[in-house]
């Protein structure tokens, strides 16, 4: 990001950044908001406010970026819902569709800078809210064993939400270079502190992986040979982790099966193999009265609302084509971030966001959460816009994963 949006506090980019930040903040699984407003009640007003802002400011849109994999994925989600068309599921799907539309409108109109600042605003609000809860409402802010959870349902949810938003903090840019580095350091330290006191080891590892991915990005963009060496070193580290899995998980305070995830993934794979093509129908929370939920209860003896694995969850709910599209879209985001035409804040944010969403999805849900889906959509549209060339051709569509409409 070359320009700071602070120059004119009431400028159109600033207003869009604020709208995006408040929307991301409201989508994070915070108990007071979640219990009072449905997802659709949070998304629809934000989209309307965005459209009114752009119309009132006579904001011109030169090219509409249409993310083809996400549109196809929404189509598959809609088709899969026909298996159990319950009203609340249809509402959630409509909200997800509006989130994608929000990303298309916001990024197509003003580029990625305002939405990146919006993600940063959301992370600051989450940090401030957590600190306020810890100071004024400690009985709510902390779990029984002392883990900080703020207004969230659990400490892991708080930590994961901050990790997903943290790439925006890395690329913040102001006029003053010195103040830019100071602001980045303060905000990243604040996020690290919240994650540390949440005691979420998964989120802490993800945070460190994100910082390493940042360094890898800079190496690959500046020197492909150095990037190749770093990638090889990363592969060696993964091999060592596999070899010394038991002592590593023990040191992190985790069981060898990642707190029961391995057996759960096995049960989900059994369920998937019964309906591998069409899946069980998209929904946000799996309950025992649903076919998938009933299978999980019969196999494990207890209900489980999701697979604790993003791609596995997509496969179970939307079938093989849904998980392929999700993985393809994440690959597009990461690769487009790497090969963007210039080393900008946008390309860095796109690469880091895609990497964090992909890695986080191995042990948690990332793109299947509302806030993760919005970040996914924003990053995809931004990655395509940053990589698009003036010409419009079938090869260009294949290269960026998006269609550009004037």
Q: What pLDDT is stored for residue 253 in this prediction?
A: 62
**Could you identify the residue written with the tokens 């600190």?**
131
Does 44 have pLDDT greater than 50? yes
Contact assessment for residue 18 and residue 118, using Cβ atoms and an 8 Å cutoff: yes
Supply 26's token pair: 């409201």
Could you tell me the pLDDT band of residue 335, with boundaries at 50, 70 and 90? confident
Does 99 have pLDDT greater than 90? yes
Instruction: Give the mean model confidence (pLDDT) for residues 135-155.
Output: 92
H or E element, residue 177:
helix 177-198
User: Which of left, alpha, beta for 348 (phi over 0: left; psi -120 to 50: alpha)?
Assistant: alpha
Q: What pLDDT is stored for residue 389 in this prediction?
A: 60
Q: What is the pTM assigned to this prediction?
A: 0.90
Give per-residue burial for 355-385: e unless 16+ CB within 10 Å, then b. Answer: bbbbbbbbbbbbbbbbbbbbbbbbbbbbbbb
Does 110 have pLDDT greater than 50? yes
Written as one string, the DSSP assignment of 282-308 is: --SS--TTSHHHHHHHHHHSS--SS-S
The CA distance from 202 to 208, in Å, is: 10
The least confident of 79-93, 200-214, 306-320, 389-403 is: 389-403
Contact assessment for residue 19 and residue 53, using Cβ atoms and an 8 Å cutoff: yes
Relative to beta strand 64-67, strand 402-405 is antiparallel
Instruction: Give the mean model confidence (pLDDT) for residues 4-31.
Output: 86
H or E element, residue 64:
strand 64-67
Could you tell me the pLDDT band of residue 232, with boundaries at 50, 70 and 90? low
In residues, how long is the chain? 406
Mean pLDDT score across all residues of the chain: 85
The CA distance from 11 to 239, in Å, is: 50
Q: What pLDDT is stored for residue 222 in this prediction?
A: 60
Q: What pLDDT is stored for residue 321 in this prediction?
A: 95
Q: What is the pLDDT of residues 255-282, one digit of tens each?
A: 555 667 888 889 999 999 999 998 999 9
Does 24 have pLDDT greater than 50? yes
Instruction: Give the mean model confidence (pLDDT) for residues 161-181.
Output: 86
């Amino acid at each position: 990001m070359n320009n700071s949006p602070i120059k004119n506090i009431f400028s159109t980019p600033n207003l869009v950044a604020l709208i995006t930040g408040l929307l991301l903040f409201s989508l994070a699984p915070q108990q007071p908001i979640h219990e009072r407003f449905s997802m659709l009640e949070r998304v629809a007003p934000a989209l309307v406010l965005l459209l009114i802002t752009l119309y009132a400011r006579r904001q011109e849109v030169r090219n509409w970026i249409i993310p083809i994999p996400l549109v196809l994925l929404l189509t598959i989600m809609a088709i899969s819902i026909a298996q159990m068309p319950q009203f609340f599921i249809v509402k959630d799907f409509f909200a997800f569709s509006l989130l994608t539309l929000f990303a298309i409108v916001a990024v197509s109109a003003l580029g990625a800078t305002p939405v990146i600042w919006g993600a940063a605003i959301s992370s600051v609000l989450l940090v401030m809210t957590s600190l306020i809860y810890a100071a004024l409402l400690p009985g709510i802010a902390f779990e029984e064993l002392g883990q900080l959870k703020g207004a969230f349902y659990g400490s892991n949810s708080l930590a994961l939400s901050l990790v997903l938003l943290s790439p925006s903090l890395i690329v913040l840019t102001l006029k003053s270079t010195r103040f830019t580095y100071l602001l980045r350091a303060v905000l990243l330290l604040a996020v690290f502190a919240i994650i540390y006191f949440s005691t979420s080891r998964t989120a802490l590892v993800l945070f460190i992986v994100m910082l390493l991915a940042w360094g890898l990005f800079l190496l690959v963009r500046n020197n492909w040979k150095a990037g190749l060496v770093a990638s090889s070193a990363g592969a060696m580290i993964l091999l060592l982790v596999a070899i010394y899995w038991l002592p590593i998980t023990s040191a992190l305070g985790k069981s060898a099966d990642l707190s029961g995830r391995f057996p759960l993934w096995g049960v989900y794979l059994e369920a998937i193999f019964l309906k591998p093509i069409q899946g069980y129908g998209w929904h946000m929370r799996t309950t025992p009265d649903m076919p998938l939920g009933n299978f999980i209860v019969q196999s494990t003896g207890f209900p489980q609302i999701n697979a604790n694995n993003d791609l596995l969850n997509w496969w179970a709910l939307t079938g093989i084509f849904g998980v392929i599209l999700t993985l393809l879209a994440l690959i597009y985001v990461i690769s487009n971030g790497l090969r963007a035409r210039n080393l900008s804040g946008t390309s860095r944010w796109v690469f880091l966001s895609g990497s964090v969403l992909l890695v986080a999805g191995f042990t948690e849900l990332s793109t299947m959460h509302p806030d993760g889906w919005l970040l996914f959509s924003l990053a995809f549209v931004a990655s395509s816009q940053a990589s698009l060339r003036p010409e419009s051709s079938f090869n260009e569509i294949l290269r960026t994963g998006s269609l550009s409409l004037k």
